[in-house]
Structure 1
Amino acid sequence: MITIGFLHTADVHVPTFRSLLRELAPGIADRHVVDPGLLADARAGRPYQDGLRARLGELAAAGAEVILCTCSTIAGAAERAAANVVRIDRPMAEAAARYPRIGLAYAVESTLAPTRALLAEVGAGDRVVEIACPAAWPLFEAGDLPGYHAAVADRVRAAAGTVDVVLLAQASMAPAAALLADLPVPVLASPALAVREAASRARRPLADRNA
């Protein structure tokens, strides 16, 4: 059976991505590794790459043909560390690049630089409008997910008139999109787009997976 590995930095993501995989790619098995320390080290500016490679190795050893890194702060490093890694925010960034003004909503400062670098890589670096949500992340850390998503939605709603699309930089923000369904601009979240990409890559012949 084809297997996709998931590397998370918070336990809350395991049921979310397991459910998405069942919905979008039934018949593909999943393996999950959670390491909050990777994000903590990245946010503090401490080295985390050795630990990242070790966690990717665990998933590969467990039979994962493709690995989806669900943390946008470290996903770029994960993508560079192994050829079989799907970066959580790349499919979303590529979709957002079609729009003239891109609202980049983020709740953790460590997410901003790698996401901006990714948007520059896909040709949209000069069209970014930052939408910082600093009050939201403490709610996530406290386990208040409804409050977290509402705080993100409030900040996005206030800025929506200045952009043509909104990109929710962190996978944890995805439920905020449902709170913004009435906006006149699209709101893009990464989880479903990334799971589709990971499933598509996992189904390819081995020689074509990293093309």
Structure 2
Amino acid sequence: MLTLLHTSPVHVPVFDALGARHHPGLELRHLVHEDLLAKARSDGPAAMDSALGAVLTEAVADGATAVLCTCSTIGGAAQAHTARLGVPVLRVDRPMAAAAVAAAPERGTVRIAVVVALFSTLAPTTDLIREEAAAAGRRVDIRTVSAEGAWERFEDGDRDGYLDIVARTVDGITGADAVVLAQASMADAADRTGTVLPVLSSPAPGLRAAAAAAQGAERSAEDV
């Protein structure tokens, strides 16, 4: 069973739809803990690590063979619990970051524009891209672009307004090899853009990686 840890309930139908379309037969369980993001935003990711660890421990006790954290702000902190838990804990944005690093020819610097609506996502996302670039032996030039006013729309429940602001922000970007949508909630904005640049989002590739990890863990358990 793959357990998904969300910090907003808006992600549940998104990942359910992706699972049904691309991973039929994979059992998904959703946990929504908005308090984890609130704590991370107010006091920093380290402040909610104990609560995060308890949530992950309970998920494994309830049968998770892998956990996917869909929140970019706390994804790195969640992944750090992998060794302790003995099951893969993945962050949804890692495959997206790897794809961004590979978005330009092997020679030269990869120019990546990171669109953010929530400031707490900024450092975890850019750090992850640099980590993936180092692993690939690539140089990166990361530029961050704020989708001003978007998060307020998100918090007000105005999904269309949120996505429209993100899309307009993307359409204003030039001089990049790829655009990264830093938050999973931004994914549908890619369909509203008119840019010719590659626009990368995290839900589909993140779920694909997590599904493979969960299924691999299940096969390993059966072989024991």
Q: TM-score range by the shorter chain?
A: over 0.9
Q: Which has the larger radius of gyration?
A: 2
SS at match of 1:185: coil
Matched with 1:110 is 120
**Letter matched to residue 132 of structure 2:** V
Q: Map of 1:29-68 to 2, 5 A cutoff?
A: 29-46=27-44, 47-68=47-68
Distance 1:71 1:154 in 2: 23
Structure 1 moving runs of 4+ over 6 Å:
none
Is 1:188 the counterpart of 2:200? The answer is: yes
C-alpha separation in 2, matches of 1:79 and 1:134: 29
- Contact residue 31 and residue 59 of structure 1 kept, 8 A: no
Separation in structure 2 between the aligned mates of residue 206 and residue 41 of structure 1, nearest angstrom: 33
**Does the 8 Å contact 1:31/1:62 carry over to 2?**
no
Please, what TM-score do these two structures have when normalized by structure 1? 0.92
Paired AA for residue 113 in structure 2: G
Q: Secondary structure of the residue that 1:173 maps to in structure 2?
A: helix
Change in CA separation of 1:109 and 1:208 when aligned onto 2, cut-off 3 Å: farther
Task: For 2:140 and 2:214, locate their aligned partners in 1 and report how far apart those are by CA, in whole Å.
Answer: 33
- More displaced stretch, 148-157 vs 81-90: 81-90
The counterpart of 2:99, out of the listed 95, 100, 115, is 95
Query: What letter is aligned with 1:24?
Result: H
| Aligned-CA RMSD value | 1.7
SS at match of 1:162: coil
The match for 2:177 is: 164
Matches within 5 A, 1:116-195: 116-123=126-133, 126-159=140-173, 161-180=174-193, 182-195=194-207
Whether 2:200 is the aligned partner of 1:202: answer no
Q: How many residues were matched structurally? A: 205
What amino acid sits opposite 1:60 in the alignment? V
Deviation at 1:206, TM superposition (A): 5.6
**1:91-123 deviation digits (Å, cap 9, x = unpaired):** 000000013211101100000001111111011
Q: Residue 162 of structure 2 aligns to which amino acid in structure 1?
A: Y
Aligned 8 A contact 2:65 2:217 in 1:
no
Alpha-carbon distance between aligned partners in 2 of 1:109 and 1:125, rounded to the nearest angstrom: 24
Residue 184 of structure 1 and its aligned partner are, at CA, apart by 1.2
1:158 Cα deviation (Å)? 0.8
Q: Which residue of 1 aligns with 2:106?
A: none
Structure 1 residue 60: deviation in Å?
1.1
Report if the CA contact (8 A) 1:91-1:190 is conserved.
yes
Structure 2 residue runs without a partner (length 5+): 104-109
Q: What TM-score results when the alignment is normalised by the length of structure 2?
A: 0.87
Matched, 1:69 2:69: yes
Shift of 1:203: 1.8
Task: Check whether the contact 2:170–2:195 (CA below 8 A) recurs between aligned residues.
Answer: no
Unaligned runs of 5+ in 1: none
Cα shift readout 1:158-190 (whole Å, capped 9, x = no counterpart): 11x22111110100000101112x321110110
**Distance change (3 Å), C-alpha of 1:63 and 1:145:** same
SS at 2:68's partner residue? strand
> SS at the partner of 1:68?
strand
SS of match in other structure, 2:115: strand
Q: Which amino acid aligns with 1:189?
A: S
Does the 8 Å CA contact 1:103/1:129 hold for their aligned counterparts?
Answer: yes
